[in-house]
Amino acid sequence: MKIRRLLFIICVALCSCGNHSNSAPDDIKGRKLDMKFASLLQMTECDGYVVADIKNPWGNNILHRYILVDKDSAMPATMPSGTLLRTPLDNVLLFATMHAELLGCLGVSHAVGGVCEPEYMTQQYIREGLENNTITDCGSSLNIDLERVVELSPSAVFVLPYENGGYGKLDKLPYPLVECVEYMETSPLASAEWMRFYGRLLGCAAKADSLFDEVCHSYLSLRDSVAAVTSRPKLMCELKSSSAWYVPGGRSTMGVLYNDAGAHYLFSDNNSMGALPLAFETVLEKASSADIWLIKYGADTDKTRSSLLAEFEGYKYFKPFANGNIYACNLSKKRFYEETPFRPDLLLRELVALFHPDFYPDKKPLRYYEKMAQ
């Protein structure tokens, strides 16, 4: 249940947002930063401040506008309307483990003052901070501890938007909310490029830009290396859950990754940008002859082909089950959701190694997936 809730928080249930519309970005006079892939983020450098416009993924308006002013500089005489953030932020409250991971990579872990859902925060600096009380446990994102938040008095709260919804108790507090919608971008590099925004919030813009350039170069090099392959393994993924089998849509981040890694993803013809709930019979008809099966799950004990069969006998009708060509990522033991949102190049390298092993003859151990035992 914990893993299901984690996936809900990070990936699936985040399909909404607050209603914080502002004027369009074209009314800002300044130098727009060149965003290579991100479509939901625009930053403009103005005289004495930076304007960051977050586009509404579910509409044509601006979800939120932030005005970033260096805390060591005087306030500009005139500025557009928006949420003022004095940067670098130095006492943030985080909801998502992927942001905790990014801040650690950017060398600004000292800026984290509190977290929600601490049981999902696997970073060493978070664990140590919780133990020595330098990082505040603010409870569950669904039942936040307001007293602890007030005591923390964060410089900003990194929240995950919900469509047509607000942030419950947090809406009543005076702390600025940074609405993080990178998960709604439609490509892995577009999502990763949001690190440039977080770098400017935390005073490490140059490092964030440099890291993104590294990720971008690595990803595109890998993608281009397999772009011309003619033999693409037929790919199926995930497991049946209750009455539905959820698979990534063809235009989802994972759907794009599978294609970029040189697979023939069997559900790529569906243009959905989210997860598709399919009947078992639909998956069987489409994917019974798949070559490779990728699975993600969370459990204290690793699943095996035998345990899969005990869960649902229908799995035996798929070719990868019979051939033993199933690769699984146990989310309880692997740092998949911590690392891959801002380092999609690491996941792409792994998928290329799985789909086209001749590209990696040294046979290095995989980072996330392992071949499932009998």
Closest-CA residue to 296 (of 366, 188, 369, 187): 369
User: Following DSSP, what letter does each residue of 227-260 receive, concatenated?
Assistant: TT-S---EEEE--EETTEEEEE-TTSHHHHHHHH
Residue 275 reports pLDDT greater than 60: yes
Per residue in 337-353, pLDDT (tens digit) is: 999 999 999 999 999 99
Kindly state the average pLDDT of the residues 351-373: 87
Give the range among 19-23, 26-30, 39-43 with minimum mean pLDDT: 19-23
Q: Where in the chain is the domain with CATH 3.40.50.1980?
A: 2-217, 227-371
Helix (H) or strand (E) holding 204: none
pLDDT at 26: 56
Per residue in 236-270, pLDDT (tens digit) is: 999 999 889 999 999 999 999 999 999 999 999 99
Look up the CATH number of domain 2-217.
3.40.50.1980
Q: Which residues of 161-185 are buried (b: 16+ CB within 10 A; e: fewer)?
A: beeeebbeebeebebbbbbbbbbbb
Kindly state the average pLDDT of the residues 290-314: 97
pLDDT at 117: 93
pLDDT band at 137 (very low <50, low <70, confident <90, very high): very high
Is it true that domain 227-371 has CATH number 3.40.50.1980? yes
